[in-house]
Amino acid sequence: AQVQTNMQVSFLRLWTSPDPYVETTPECLLLESGKYWNANQTSTSRTTMHFLSGKTTTAGIAWVGVLCRGAFPTSQSALGISCSENLPASGNFGGAYGVTEGVSGSFNPGSPSVVWDVAGVAHEIGHNFNSPHTHCYSGIGGSPDPVDQCYGSESGCYSGTPTLPGPQGQGSGTIMSYCQLRPGGFSNVTLTFGTGHPFGVLPERVPSRMFAHVQSQAGSNPGCLALQAVDLIFANGFD
């Protein structure tokens, strides 16, 4: 409801035979999966594609503000990475894509809790919806301050001592935060983008920015993202 968007899984693939992906880091896997989809899935209609991996690295990455965006060129050097020899140094690898590694299937919808499987995927898809991290919101949405100060080492963002916006273990952080990196882990995070959240500086800026991206993309590309009278954000998982 916070982004006034209904997410529908229109395509799902589970590999029962060896998959075509050999990269292990999330950055390289983002390029590799983008390369594969841009070459082999051009007929698959999509607003975004998310790659869920059980590889042991607990990490994720996604392109920012790319709903409905087509393929675009990028390179390993542009991301400051070096991948295996199986992946060309540059190519048409970009798009409306994201990756979450370390997915274990541990989430229990009957007894929901904040775990990596859910928080990680929602976080990366949030980037596709044009949200930066909450410690990077200085000057966005009417405030000179970030939403929180949970991380201080990202270029162009908050750079002071990391601190939680509320008591440790009380869910003071939100989905787009890095508050799980502070003592207390995921008990510092609530599964919200920020609407009505009592901690941080104007946390509602996050879903507002995400919805603005939805409106913009729906207006320019209604065939990809149609405006409808819906009021849900999650629907039975992700592609």
pLDDT digits (tens, 9 = 90+) for 200-212: 999 999 999 999 9
The dihedral through the CA atoms of 232, 233, 237, 239 has a sign that is: positive
**pLDDT at residue 237 above 60?**
no
pLDDT digits (tens, 9 = 90+) for 128-140: 999 999 999 999 9
The residue written with tokens 């990809």 in the block is 224
Among the listed residues 116, 119, 153, the one whose alpha carbon sits nearest the alpha carbon of residue 136: 153
Supply the pLDDT for residue 145: 99
Which phi and psi (to 5°) does residue 61 adopt?
-160, 150
Buried-state track 55-75, b at ≥16 Cβ within 10 A, e below 16? beeebbbbbebbbbbebeebe
pLDDT digits (tens, 9 = 90+) for 73-109: 999 999 999 999 999 999 999 999 999 999 999 888 8
User: Which residues are paired to 149 by β-bridges?
Assistant: 163
Domain ranges across the chain: 26-220
Is the pTM higher than 0.85? The answer reads yes
**pLDDT at residue 229 above 90?**
no
The domain defined by 26-220 folds into: Collagenase (Catalytic Domain) (3.40.390)
